Chains A and B, each alone.
Chain A
Amino acid sequence: MIILQGLILALIGVAGTAVVLTRKPLAQIIVMSFYGLLLGLMFFAFQAPDVAFSQIVVGAVAMPLLFLLALTKVRRNE
């Protein structure tokens, strides 16, 4: 269990850095969605399935969707 938790925490560190280093907004939203999914897995590994559930629906689905739509709007006005 401790190995799994360590592995997921390390992956989150990598994914978080990847979100910051991705410069293209569209790619960044996809990377951020993946990062949200990893956070959900992390909560699951730390035995908080309720929080994991909320994190996955909000962080990996709802938030990237709103960001994608906002990006579409911004690009349209360019």
Chain B
Amino acid sequence: MSLRTRTRLFLAAGMGLLAFFIYGLLGLPPVGQQISGYATKLNSLTVPARHITDTVTAVNFDFRGFDTMGEEYILFTSVMGVLLLFRTQRDEVEEAPRNHAPGRQAPPSSDAVRVCALSLMAPTLLFGIYTVTHGQINPGGGFQGGVILATVLLFVFLAGDYEIFRKMDAHRAVELAESAGAAGFVLVGLAAIILNKPFLENVLPLAPAGTVLSGGTVPLISLSVGIEVGAGILLLSTAFLEEALVLKSKKGG
């Protein structure tokens, strides 16, 4: 197929897509003008029935908690897949990370980067914990907080050098945390079944709305998601770091 025919084909298909796209856009309700029946129902339910002031968290971890569990396991299996792909193959040997020029160490991070990373570490840790534990009151929750928590350890990498980061070697602990977080969600769900209620039904007493323990099982689920996501992202980024910085070469090659 020549470039000319290809361009024509693209233009024809593109015009068709554009037409359908505009047709679809015209059918959408105006932005922010109309609240669906489902949204109205949820807005009127979250505070009286669940003592949760952030409706989005109530939907994610309670009303549609089962969907969120599926999503959590999507992340879990993706992280597992990446770790499986990046494992050291039997015919590969690891070498210490170094620069291309032999005998020369990689330059350490600059003072500016080091100061920024060091001063951001503690506030980020606090903010991560806050986000994980306050999902039922404010926007946020386990997923966002988990990623923020994972970045704290990446600041360690930025502030020090890769060797220090590697020596921390908490691989097993992080893997354990990821599995425990993933299992925690299911265990909270199973607790309801043991107490003769539907899966993931709230079984804990509800504290007054606007407090950290409001929402019954929701803070627990948020916490387990936070641990799972934080550990997962950390495993993912360390796997990528290792793949990028540690030289792996074929044995005898």
> Which residues of A come within 8 Å of B, CB atoms?
5, 46-47, 49-50, 52-54, 57-58, 61-62, 65-66, 69-70, 72-73, 76
Q: A61-B151, A62-B233 are in contact. Are A53 and B144 (CB under 8 A)?
A: yes
B139 near A76 (CB under 8 angstroms)? no
Pick the most buried of A5, A50, A65, A69: most chain B CB atoms within 10 A of its CB: A50
B244 near A57 (CB under 8 angstroms)? no
Q: Which residues of B contact A66 (CB under 8 A)?
A: 236-237, 240
Q: A62-B233, A66-B236, A70-B244 are in contact. Are A47 and B32 (CB under 8 A)?
A: yes
A74 to B: closest C-beta gap in Å: 9
A48 to B: closest C-beta gap in Å: 8
Q: A53-B140, A62-B147 are in contact. Are A69 and B241 (CB under 8 A)?
A: yes
Q: Which residues of B contact A58 (CB under 8 A)?
A: 147
Q: A61-B151, A65-B237, A69-B237 are in contact. Are A53 and B244 (CB under 8 A)?
A: no
A50 near B141 (CB under 8 angstroms)? yes
Q: Residue on A with the closest CB to B55?
A: A50
Mind listing 19 A-B residue pairs with CB under 8 Å? A5-B31, A46-B31, A47-B32, A49-B139, A50-B54, A50-B139, A52-B139, A53-B131, A57-B144, A57-B148, A62-B233, A65-B240, A66-B236, A69-B241, A69-B244, A70-B240, A70-B244, A73-B243, A73-B244
A50 near B57 (CB under 8 angstroms)? yes
- Complex: A34 Cα to B144 Cα, angstroms: 19
A50 near B154 (CB under 8 angstroms)? no
Point out the residue from A46, A50, A57, A70 that lies within 8 Å of B56, measured CB to CB. Answer: A50
Using A53-B140, A65-B240 as known contacts, list a sample of 10 further A-B pairs with CB atoms less than 8 Å apart, ordered by residue number in A. Answer: A46-B31, A50-B56, A50-B139, A50-B140, A61-B151, A62-B233, A65-B237, A66-B240, A69-B244, A73-B243
- Complex: A47 Cα to B240 Cα, angstroms: 34
- Complex: A72 Cα to B246 Cα, angstroms: 11
A12 to B: closest C-beta gap in Å: 15
Point out the residue from A50, A53, A72 that lies within 8 Å of B245, measured CB to CB. Answer: A72
Point out the residue from B56, B143, B154 that lies within 8 Å of A65, measured CB to CB. Answer: B154
A49 to B: closest C-beta gap in Å: 4
- Complex: A54 Cα to B31 Cα, angstroms: 21
- Complex: A66 Cα to B154 Cα, angstroms: 12
Q: Which residues of A contact B144 (CB under 8 A)?
A: 50, 53-54, 57
- Complex: A57 Cα to B230 Cα, angstroms: 12
